[in-house]
Amino acid sequence: MTARWLTDEGVRRLFRGRDAAGAGWLRLLWAALVFALVTAFLMPALVPARLQLQAGQVAPKDIWAPRTIVDRLRTEELREAARAAVPDFYRIDPAVWQRSKSSLAAIFETVRGLASADDPKSEKIRPLRELVGEELPDSVLLAVIGAQEEELAALEAGIRDVVDGQLRMGIKPEHVDTVRRQAATELGALDLDRNLRLFGAELARQLIEPNLFFDEVETRRKRQEAADQVEPVRIIQGQVVVRERDVITEHQVAILEDLGLLRTTPDYLIRVGVALLAAILLAGLAFYLKLFQPAVFASNRMVLLLAIILSGTVALCWMTESLSGYLVPVALGSMLATILLGAQLGVVLAAFLAVLAGLATGPDLGHLVVALAGGLTGVYSVASVAHRSDLMRSGVLISAANGATIFALALAGGRSFTELATWLDHLWGLGNGLLSAILTIGSLPFLENLFGIVTPLKLLELSNPNQPLLRRLLMEAPGTHHHSLMVANLAESATERVGGDALLARVGAYYHDVGKIKRPYFFADNQLFGDENPHDKLSPHLSALIITSHVRDGVELAEEHELPGTLVDFIRQHHGTTLVTYFFNRATENGRSEQVVEEDFRYDGPIPQSKETAIVMLADACEAAVRSLHRPNPGRIEAMVRKIIRERLDDGQLDRSDLTMRDLDTIAGEFTRLLTGIFHTRIQYPDGLGDLRKTKPAEETDAHGGGGR
């Protein structure tokens, strides 16, 4: 098997899915390669290079931050400063003031009661001393008890004002002695008897208590609020953390650790995580293919093609990402996928590659957005491309989309359009579109040829009349060439009406009868007026063999000229397994039907497997039959067209074509319209020159062509 792959044909067979065992093995190999490339593409961004550095060492080079992080130490320093700037919070206890006021009122009420009592002086002093303590001598207490009411009222008011004023301001425990001395000083200034002033000072000292207490919970809350208001200090992606030849500090070591740049612990788990992320992304793409693109998923050829597009694009993204994230050519993959595999898969691939580009270029989502915009523009611009030169137009559109997206991101980010960095981003975006277009133009023919895929561009090239096979058909079988052009017009118009690939049908019709080049004059469309019919001298079996062999001859010529397999299918299937009616009838005439095997007079097939090949079969038969009509008119043309379609349907030739009855009715109407315009009855001129074509009867045309149109 390995030796067979070394040949050009072996490579083509392998990539075109004709070597199932080799393609299956290669499918696994490409899956592993894509996984490895995607993982390697993501590794530098998600697993930065590690350094062996310590505080006190001299930095061997400038060290840049590969991503944006918070500077923990500096941020914590600022938050601690904010906490320290918040003073302790104290709360006044209102119960102290209430208790002091009640005690003051009770003492003076006792004094007034003792003043009016008839008890001896020694008995009067005892209740008052129980209230005020042992600090004051009896003379002071007796003076208070014997004082006039006006003096007592003044003393009480003075004590109340002093104590109330101090308590309202709040008294901390450590300041209580100072406040008591201050209160005594204030009471000593009252215009009262000395004994009354002494009593007031002692009473104020007793009534004044600490009422301003530290609130730990509220203090912690206020300090945390102040710390939370501090904006984190950030190390921005691309910022120089350590300058070359600087002595590394503990602070810088902490930053390098947070950036994951120091070899403190093995990074195996990180690498496993990146590989797992790559596997998840690829599994998501595989699930999409299985659910929404089952034909691609089931085809080794298509999976291998997608793997090559993916791996090639990822490899190029890997190489260009170091220059700028705006240069990664995501549009290359989306354009190739759209042209070769369809627009739907192109959109999905654009999104997939944009996510990879966003992950690989860091936390800046601008790169992802630009990659997605360029990729989707690439899909749109090549969805209906008609010429290879249109791919450069696609490159211009991608460049414009990239430039507009970068401009919008710059405005949204508050960047000035005059900044040099913004201009450089625009230049990278413009270069992205042109690079994607150039690479698409260069790689598309290689992939088309390697995988045998027929793109619209390839079809347009193959429809060029200067193609060697079409040139030979024109020169060696001009009647067949003209017939093929007529069939192509019919097939293209009808295919477009039923939603098929009209361009494919047209080009397939160009080549469907190339097998007649080998024996052109055995077919009616190449026999000149008055020529002797060579079938008149041959047996029906031999004539049928010659007629049917043009299919095999056409396949050989197509493979010799390396036509895509899709076009070879038109050659194989345009007659299906139909019967060569005229020669079969000749073989069975005169009662010899029991000696004739019908299979000997049928084409080898297979029957048409698609809408396009089935429509070319019908167009081929209808054009030949209507051409043989004598004095055709719209009614006779429509009857002939519907008769042929009905016969092909009844014969099972359309069973695998996916054509519905509605489609067949639409095709019949379109054929009738076009054939009526081509083969309408002409005016007979007096000199008989109105119709130079000597039309043969329908049965004669069938005999000479053997149904071999």
Q: Residue 482 class from Cβ within 10 Å (0-12 exposed, 13-18 middle, 19+ buried)?
A: middle
Confidence at residue 3, expressed as pLDDT on a 0 to 100 scale: 36
**Judgement on whether residues 174 and 38 belong to the same structural domain of the protein:** no
Q: Compute φ and ψ for 241, nearest 5 degrees.
A: -90, -45
> Could you give the CA distance from residue 535 to residue 538 in angstroms, rounded to a whole number?
5
Confidence at residue 430, expressed as pLDDT on a 0 to 100 scale: 87
Residue that is last in its domain, among 416, 431, 453: 453
Residues 6+ positions from 414 with CB-CB distance below 8 Å: none
**Judgement on whether residues 331 and 402 belong to the same structural domain of the protein:** yes
Tokens representing 3 are 């030796």
Query: Is the pLDDT score of 225 beyond 60?
Result: yes
**Judgement on whether residues 412 and 553 belong to the same structural domain of the protein:** no
Query: Is the pLDDT score of 666 beyond 80?
Result: yes
Confidence at residue 695, expressed as pLDDT on a 0 to 100 scale: 38
Domain count of the chain? 3
Confidence at residue 168, expressed as pLDDT on a 0 to 100 scale: 80
493-552 tens-digit pLDDT:
999 999 999 999 999 999 999 999 988 878 877 776 556 777 777 877 888 888 888 999
589-631 tens-digit pLDDT:
765 555 677 778 889 889 999 999 999 999 999 998 898 888 8
Confidence at residue 663, expressed as pLDDT on a 0 to 100 scale: 95
C-alpha closest to that of 338 among 506, 496, 455: 455
- Selected residue with higher pLDDT from 452 and 435: 435
What pTM, to 2 d.p., does this model score?
0.61
**For residue 540, what are the CA distances in angstroms to 358, 488, 526, 536, 545?**
71, 30, 20, 9, 8
99-147 tens-digit pLDDT:
887 888 777 777 777 776 666 666 677 777 777 777 777 777 777 777 7
Q: Which contacts qualify for 79-82: CB closer than 8 Å, 24 or more apart?
A: 79/227, 79/230, 80/227, 82/223, 82/226, 82/227, 82/229, 82/230
Confidence at residue 692, expressed as pLDDT on a 0 to 100 scale: 37
- Selected residue with higher pLDDT from 594 and 163: 163
Residues 6+ positions from 8 with CB-CB distance below 8 Å: none
238 falls within a domain: no
SS3 482: helix
**Judgement on whether residues 658 and 541 belong to the same structural domain of the protein:** yes
**Judgement on whether residues 590 and 651 belong to the same structural domain of the protein:** yes
Window from 455-459, 636-640, 652-656 with minimum mean pLDDT? 455-459
Residue that is last in its domain, among 193, 214, 235: 214
Query: Is the pLDDT score of 448 beyond 70?
Result: yes
**Judgement on whether residues 544 and 566 belong to the same structural domain of the protein:** yes
The residue assigned the tokens 């403190």 is: 264
Confidence at residue 422, expressed as pLDDT on a 0 to 100 scale: 61
**What is the residue range of 673's domain?**
459-679
Query: Is the pLDDT score of 335 beyond 90?
Result: yes
138 falls within a domain: yes
680-704 tens-digit pLDDT:
655 454 544 444 333 333 333 343 3
549-581 tens-digit pLDDT:
899 999 999 999 888 888 999 999 999 999 888
- Selected residue with higher pLDDT from 15 and 424: 424
72 falls within a domain: no
Confidence at residue 269, expressed as pLDDT on a 0 to 100 scale: 75
239 band by pLDDT with thresholds 50, 70 and 90 = confident
Residue that is last in its domain, among 150, 179, 214: 214
Q: Compute φ and ψ for 90, nearest 5 degrees.
A: -115, 145
Between the ranges 59-63, 88-92, 268-272, 445-449, where is the mean pLDDT highest? Answer: 445-449
The predicted model gives 260-275 an average pLDDT of: 72
How many CB atoms sit inside 10 A of residue 593's CB?
Answer: 12
Confidence at residue 362, expressed as pLDDT on a 0 to 100 scale: 63
SS3 574: coil
The residue assigned the tokens 């005594």 is: 184
595 falls within a domain: yes
252 falls within a domain: no
Confidence at residue 5, expressed as pLDDT on a 0 to 100 scale: 36
**Judgement on whether residues 180 and 284 belong to the same structural domain of the protein:** no
**Judgement on whether residues 470 and 445 belong to the same structural domain of the protein:** no
**Judgement on whether residues 272 and 407 belong to the same structural domain of the protein:** yes
**Judgement on whether residues 285 and 363 belong to the same structural domain of the protein:** yes
704 falls within a domain: no
172 falls within a domain: yes
479 falls within a domain: yes
Confidence at residue 364, expressed as pLDDT on a 0 to 100 scale: 65
Yes or no: say if 329 and 371 are a contact pair by the CB < 8 Å rule: no
User: Of all helices (H) and strands (E), which one includes residue 186?
Assistant: helix 176-188
Report the mean per-residue pLDDT for the chain: 81
**Judgement on whether residues 483 and 605 belong to the same structural domain of the protein:** yes
Q: Where are the alpha helices (DSSP H) in 420-477?
A: 420-451, 456-462, 468-476
**Judgement on whether residues 334 and 389 belong to the same structural domain of the protein:** yes
The predicted model gives 668-675 an average pLDDT of: 94
DSSP 242: E
